[in-house]
Structure 1
């Protein structure tokens, strides 16, 4: 996952016709080792900017030293158009052997029948210790197709000076404390929080924390669930928090870029991935050292609130000609050695909850890791990408924030989600 915006971070609906047309041209498959008698050539697709070149160089050298019978052909892919390219690869006969995909893309690709079932490897890979927000999207109908690789989720980034001026000595740990603290910060020219009205991934966390869902599966069918009492409670909390600032009610965190708003210095808090703080400091160097982090608060102080987990999984295509060697690559990338290296290099959350300690020295990443334990993903339907394309959740949020009856707006949004998931 490039630290792509969580609003629409994953590819949309993929057309089978496009897959067929692109299949022959899109894939660069491995060579047959029997032709030369040499090591197996395993082709791996990584996404641009997911990891540094230095990490990839270390991994290639270390892996090939431990597996002299395997040569890695690492190919970097662009996010733009990747959905069609992966679909084409899965439909071809010369697919790459390992592909990095967005965690919520797995169900979409698995539905094609072109992804290898790795359920029998879960025990060896310590699947019981995986982050739920990465493991759950990789599982379809009880079968594990995507192996969690890394994660990133939102935290609260706050302006330490503004907290101190308001007499706030410690970050809030519960939703009730968060509202009280934010109200105390929202005074004069200072915004208690900048929360755009259509930040629907943040809303998702509030809905899950309240016990609600965006959509639920009823047998083989999916239906929208924003109109349940629990989901409505999550939206009500969002409404109350959003009112303690001047965030727009009809746009998301990209319009305007919330980092630019926060960098002006008169906003006490934003909800973002920790890396957003680096962008803020680049815009306004005077804020360097003045920004802090804490996990999104939950209903009680015992654990942080639920959050959306974005990230990447690793899949092995059915068309891989080196499935055993491909699995060795996945096993290494998902294992403790390279997970630790990547977490420290990229400030990502490792795929195993037991590895959270490796990033505790970084305040922002530590807050993210604490929240990741309560991470969730969007509904595991192959059609969910189509929901994001039109995004009735954003429209629902704006409607509620501008005075529409929440129950009526939620019913409309849920009906739209149901139609799309059933199409």
Structure 2
């Protein structure tokens, strides 16, 4: 059995030079899986995937599994290179925003058959997020979710007896906390922060979307988008955002939330809740449902096992994908990673109370507006939102300017 190892793309392509999934002259099928550090502790990550290799191979004597532990950095470029060169992996873990472009290019295979025997056990949102053109292109093995985290003590000291559950209530609470020199919302306006954890949840809650229904233009500058950005500007005017909101990140440790300068972050992860508890005491941390506007929406994505079209061991790769998505392995992965299972028939051993609170938001999970150019559009929009927060543009001007650039991108075909 080959051991799990972190390798660069050059090494991975070299290892696969004889053909991805080849038998190497033996009767065994080889399946190469590119896996990423969803388990943040490196030692635990290596141990988990080493055990996966060993256990799967013990049950499938004719299959040799190789798990290449890849870094998050440069993932998109490496995956694209591997698919174009038809070398490197049989299976890879991708998110909903990455899959459409590869499905469009025809470099990955549908995997509906893998989940068919237990389709009813998967979270519907996890499956729909990985579906393109009516076909499933990723087998969900975990699900992420975000939810509001807040400082109970700060709200109480400001006389806010009911912690905000809606955007309207958040805005109403802003002046009361501002009087205590506390910003109600720890908004991270730094362009490097994913809009999925800053502006988009507010846009979605107000019923807006990033793209038009046909995907040929953007829609974030519609009435819902303007309302959402104006909401942030109104909060800022009321002292409801940090003074450096336009340039701050969403780090908890060493940040305004941990320092008692802000009261709530609306799109936090479970790990961030743990970091928050370490900073202010777990007993002072509250976890809520997604803030409601016209609806409740929480950013959360499944990690999907994607099968390369060029794989020479597709049957073996499908068996491995089914094994990794099984309740037994999904439970262990959730326990080690802090993420959540993508299935409803999985019990996570030792799940914390905080994780159980986050799990309540899974029903509201939304992977974002998937589009082959979603990440590029985000890169265009973020600086304009920052400009509005800096007072350089009003809400409509900022969004219209971003939309003009984004529509040019969408129409360019590049």
TM-score range for the pair, normalised by the shorter chain length: 0.7 to 0.9
Question: What residue is the counterpart of 1:336 in the other structure?
Answer: 327
Greater Cα shift, 313-322 or 229-238: 229-238
Deviation at 1:215, TM superposition (A): 1.0
Per-residue CA deviation, residues 49-100 of structure 1 (Å, 9 max, x unaligned), is 5462333234333323332332211111122222222122212344422111
Contact kept, 8 Å, 1:356 with 1:369, in 2: the verdict is: no
**Structure 2 stretches lacking a partner, 5+ long:** 1-8
**Residue-pair matches, total:** 392
Question: What residue is the counterpart of 1:298 in the other structure?
Answer: 292
Question: What residue is the counterpart of 2:228 in the other structure?
Answer: 234
Question: What residue is the counterpart of 1:189 in the other structure?
Answer: 181
For normalisation by structure 2, the TM-score amounts to 0.82
Contact kept, 8 Å, 1:259 with 1:280, in 2: the verdict is: no
**1:57 aligns to 2:50 (yes or no):** yes
**1:69 aligns to 2:65 (yes or no):** no
Question: What residue is the counterpart of 1:253 in the other structure?
Answer: 249
Decide whether aligned partners of structure 1 residues 377 and 292 sit closer, same or farther in structure 2, where only a CA change above 3 A counts: same
Decide whether aligned partners of structure 1 residues 31 and 250 sit closer, same or farther in structure 2, where only a CA change above 3 A counts: closer
Aligned counterparts, 1:244-283, within 5 A: 244-254=240-250, 259-271=254-266, 272-280=268-276
Structure 2 CA distance for aligned equivalents of residues 355 and 347 of structure 1: 17
Per-residue CA deviation, residues 95-122 of structure 1 (Å, 9 max, x unaligned), is 4221112331112222332111223445
Question: What residue is the counterpart of 2:363 in the other structure?
Answer: 373
SS at match of 2:105: coil
SS at match of 1:148: strand
Structure 2 CA distance for aligned equivalents of residues 356 and 165 of structure 1: 40
Deviation at 1:315, TM superposition (A): 0.4
Contact kept, 8 Å, 2:186 with 2:257, in 1: the verdict is: yes
Question: What residue is the counterpart of 1:391 in the other structure?
Answer: 380
Question: What residue is the counterpart of 2:5 in the other structure?
Answer: none
Contact kept, 8 Å, 2:20 with 2:310, in 1: the verdict is: no
Structure 2 CA distance for aligned equivalents of residues 172 and 66 of structure 1: 51
Instruction: Select which of 347, 350, 354 maps to 2:338.
Output: 347
Deviation at 1:403, TM superposition (A): 6.6
Question: What residue is the counterpart of 2:400 in the other structure?
Answer: 411
Aligned-pair RMSD on alpha carbons?
3.2
Contact kept, 8 Å, 1:47 with 1:78, in 2: the verdict is: yes
Structure 2 CA distance for aligned equivalents of residues 176 and 53 of structure 1: 46
Contact kept, 8 Å, 1:138 with 1:313, in 2: the verdict is: yes
Deviation at 1:326, TM superposition (A): 0.5
Per-residue CA deviation, residues 237-260 of structure 1 (Å, 9 max, x unaligned), is 333445413242422425x87752
Aligned counterparts, 1:135-214, within 5 A: 135-169=127-161, 171-198=163-190, 200-201=195-196, 202-214=198-210
Contact kept, 8 Å, 1:95 with 1:317, in 2: the verdict is: no
Question: What residue is the counterpart of 2:108 in the other structure?
Answer: 115
Decide whether aligned partners of structure 1 residues 24 and 273 sit closer, same or farther in structure 2, where only a CA change above 3 A counts: closer
Contact kept, 8 Å, 1:98 with 1:326, in 2: the verdict is: yes
**1:130 aligns to 2:123 (yes or no):** yes
Greater Cα shift, 339-348 or 315-324: 339-348
Contact kept, 8 Å, 2:331 with 2:346, in 1: the verdict is: no
Instruction: Select which of 322, 337, 340 maps to 2:313.
Output: 322
Deviation at 1:24, TM superposition (A): 5.5
Decide whether aligned partners of structure 1 residues 215 and 41 sit closer, same or farther in structure 2, where only a CA change above 3 A counts: same
**Structure 1 stretches lacking a partner, 5+ long:** 1-18
Deviation at 1:411, TM superposition (A): 1.9
Decide whether aligned partners of structure 1 residues 244 and 34 sit closer, same or farther in structure 2, where only a CA change above 3 A counts: closer
Structure 1 CA distance for aligned equivalents of residues 161 and 53 of structure 2: 47
